[in-house]
């Protein structure tokens, strides 16, 4: 069966924008869950685990911004925030009135963002040789993400 879809312009309704944002959230949540499952395996696949946690965080926070104001954040998410986790966390913190962010969480994100935004956790590069992924602390980040997921689902 072959299915094709062609969209020529148009705009999403409020309902459509909300559904897109919710779909993004669930994808982000599933990246987190996949990372946690992968971490439990014997090999642990450290770089992939870290990438999945970072990608989940990025998508969940971006979805939260879109749920708040889709039209305001749609362009910024791609053009201004990109894959920079610090920018994303700071924007989410400001826009969603999250003034109390655990300093340990912020420090973990700061360290991870350096590698994530340059795709060093995804593609083969110098980090595979010189950095042991177990050196990254993700305990606070994982707890914060799970708390965020549990309060949203």
**Which pLDDT score is estimated for 18?**
95
The mean pLDDT of 57-68, rounded to a whole number, is: 94
Handedness of CA 133, 136, 137, 142 (dihedral sign): negative
The predicted-structure confidence for 94-146, as pLDDT tens digits, reads as follows 888 777 777 888 888 888 898 899 988 888 888 778 877 777 777 777 777 77
- Structure token pair of residue 127: 């980090």
Separation between Cα atoms, residue 24 and residue 79, nearest integer Å: 18
% residues pLDDT > 90 (the chain): 39
Separation between Cα atoms, residue 73 and residue 67, nearest integer Å: 9
Angle at the Cα of 13 (from 89 to 96), degrees rounded to 5? 20
């Amino acid at each position: 069966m072959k299915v094709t879809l062609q969209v020529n312009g148009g705009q999403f309704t409020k309902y459509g924008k909300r559904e897109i944002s919710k779909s993004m959230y669930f994808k982000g949540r599933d990246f987190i869950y996949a990372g946690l499952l992968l971490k439990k395996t014997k090999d642990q696949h450290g770089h992939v685990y870290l990438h999945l946690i970072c990608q989940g965080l990025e998508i969940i926070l971006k979805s939260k911004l879109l749920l708040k104001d889709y039209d305001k954040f749609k362009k910024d998410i791609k053009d201004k925030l990109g894959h920079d986790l610090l920018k994303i966390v700071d924007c989410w913190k400001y826009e969603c009135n999250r003034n109390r962010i655990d300093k340990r969480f912020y420090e973990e994100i700061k360290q991870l963002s350096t590698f994530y935004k340059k795709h060093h956790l995804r593609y083969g590069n110098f980090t595979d040789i010189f950095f042991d992924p177990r050196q990254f602390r993700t305990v606070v980040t994982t707890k914060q993400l799970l708390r965020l997921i549990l309060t949203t689902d």
